[in-house]
Structure 1
Amino acid sequence: MRRSSICYIILLTIAVSIAVIALPVYAQTSGSPTVGGGPANPNANVTTAYKLLQQEANRTGVIQTTIAPLSINTDLPTYNQGDTVIMTGHIRDPINATAVTIKVISPLKNLVFIGQLTPGADGSFTKTFAATGQYWKDAGNYTIIAQYGVYLNSTARFHYNGGDGSTTVTKAINGTYGLQSGNQIYNIPYIIKGGTVSSMSIYAQQYTLEIALNTNADGSITVTLPRNIIDAKVPPPPNPDANLTGAKVNPAGLEDATFIVTDGGKQITQFSETKNQNARTLSIPFSKGDSKIDIVGTIIIPEFGPIAALVFAIAIISIIAVSAKTGLRFMPKY
């Protein structure tokens, strides 16, 4: 075999490796379309519900009907005196320089908090305020009202256990954890109260983001998950012609599914979420002494996937084997 042929094989192997590394790692489920070759499909030009779904998904990136025009949530359903309330929200169609107005109404219809904030370019926003002071005495259900422009408003409710008007505050910690893969760092923003974050790790084969905690009190963590790192999607509708047509499913166009969240192996169902086209923000409660929260989705970042690493390793081994057998040199010999 001539050296030019060997070089061609090596370059082809590297190209295939890079192509596979670029593919998203997606949790396959029964009934999901697969990629394959075969004879021409006689129904290729027939309009189906599946094709219409894919056309809409490709046009919008994320199906817009799954995202509310304006939504807000709190990190916990109940607060004590001195607690910090973490409110997250999202505006589907943000307008430049338009602020969101936030009001908090007590069970006696008194205004206990008012403020404004400017959402980010993607429409997301976060607001924290302390349930403390002279206006925070009455126990009962409090209402948050978010107003955007003239027509959009949204509400969220939480229970406050009442207080004596003192100004004690349990502070929340804003932080960012850098998940590293090779030379790339992926930043995960979070807000935590009642503890600190020790580490975050991705387990690609389980499609899981694990958060290790040090907790000294009951609290919560509000974590923003970029969709290009981890996401949860409903499986696409069955497509019997997928094997014939080689149809590929764009996960970004599928309907959002609910993440599975566990605390020390026990599933948590009482967590809140806000989302936009780029990220999903979860507010997860925990108890004093808890040390690990797992967030399980269906899609994981490619760089952390085992397939990419395996293919790349095979490519390197192939190059070494061919070089050893043929005496091929990559650098000119002088």
Structure 2
Amino acid sequence: MSSSYATEDKDLPEACVGCALQDARATATEMLLQDLPISVWTDKTNYSHDDMIIVKGKVANVASGFPVTVTVVSPLNSIVTVDQIPVTSNGDFETMLNTTGNLWKYDGTYTIKVNYGSVAKNNSAKVELTGGIASTPDSPTSNECGVNEISANGQCIPFTISGGTVTSAIINTDDNSIIININAEDDGILTISPSEEVIKGIFMVLVDGEEWDDAEIVTNTNEVTVMFPAGAEQVEVIGTFVIPEFGTIAAMILAVAIISIIAVSARSRLSIMPRY
């Protein structure tokens, strides 16, 4: 069932994304929110590019000290913003998203994803932005990743983090590594579980460019857990192999093109040689 609801209850918004419940169902909706691991809604369904989006939600079972991670994905499947929101003792959370700025410039559907502690506790709501730049199929895109995943060179890498947020990630083909940029407000833990198609043979972890001992590498599951200090900005996981920047087919096409150029060049030289 969708995470978006509408009720007349004083503790819930009067208009929620994608629904229109009657007053008689308000109590039932409140009970349903208590049963869902996490729910999320917004104050409207449509916004312009200079509006504030009010995001509210509820967590069913509150774990003290754990925030809700909010990730906004654009119509081009790129991450617009990532933030962590505190949860009240009764499970409520709320934040405001400012739609001004270059990352919000495209028109279309923006997905607001929320996560609370584990993969199972996630949900999302969608809003429409208009009055900006039209997004087209020719616009650059990346693979759409889930709530607990970060996109790196078009690959989705599962992760969990406490004490900070993951802001971006890239695959470094020169050093056979994945570089994860983080905003560490406190001492925390980052765990990533990339597939072996992305990286394998993981043997070293760097934090802000220094070899890091407070890390656990589980080779049979390709999982890495890193304990980082407050203020850390970058975690790099190094392996013996990372997915090439160009796919196999692209590499084959490049090889064929090079061979063709060499063949044509050789034929041209032969054609201009004097004959006796």
TM tier, smaller: 0.3 to 0.5
Q: Considering Cα pairs closer than 8 Å and 6+ residues apart, tell me whether 1 or 2 has the greater RCO.
A: 1
Instruction: Write 1 or 2 for the structure with the bigger share of helix.
Output: 1
- Work out which of the two has the higher radius of gyration on C-alpha atoms and give 1 or 2: 1
Instruction: Write 1 or 2 for the structure with the bigger share of strand.
Output: 2
